[in-house]
Amino acid sequence: MAALHVLAAAVWVGGTVTLVFIAVPMARQLEGEQRARALRRLGSGWRPLGWSAMALLVGSGLVLAGNDGVFSGDASAEFYAIFAVKVSLVAVLVAGALVHDFVLGPGLARQIRDGRPQTLRRPLVIVGWLNFALTLTVPVLGTVLAHLG
């Protein structure tokens, strides 16, 4: 189960890094409909893979936490505290990713396509960078938990 968790994390983190530093900057060089089309393709290509990885992360993470005694009361207080922080950050990450992928991203694509002012760009960028920071933070907490477990 740990291997599945690590592989799913590699897909989520690696895909996110690739999107943030390679794919999106390349799409930003395009204009108008080409830009909107490129961003739609990036989103539609990434979503099935990324969201599948996230589902595997949540499921396998719960199994691993159970193996470490979280649900039976056998974990240490330190483990519980770090686990609570990790679960909270994962919830914020999932919520942020949902807003980014299904509200702000498509909304900005429509604004670009229609030639309207891009009022959703700043919120999309802020949520995107928050998600990126959480994407890097959560596995670090997972490593701490693995060491404590």
User: What SS3 class is residue 103?
Assistant: helix
pLDDT of 94: 98
Position 85 pLDDT exceeds 80: yes
Mean pLDDT of 27-41: 85
Q: Over the chain, what is the mean pLDDT?
A: 94
Confidence of residue 32 (pLDDT cuts 50, 70, 90): confident
**Phi/psi of residue 29, nearest 5 degrees:** -75, -15
Query: Percentage of the chain with pLDDT > 90?
Result: 80
> pLDDT by residue (tens digit) across 47-61?
999 999 999 999 999
Return the structure tokens found at 45. Answer: 């290509």
Mean pLDDT (whole number) for 115-131: 96
How far apart are the C-alpha atoms of 32 and 116, rounded to whole Å? 10
Note the pLDDT of residue 125.
95
Output the pLDDT for position 99.
98
The answer to whether the beta carbons of residues 82 and 148 sit under 8 Å apart is yes
Residue 102 pLDDT level (bands cut at 50, 70, 90):
very high
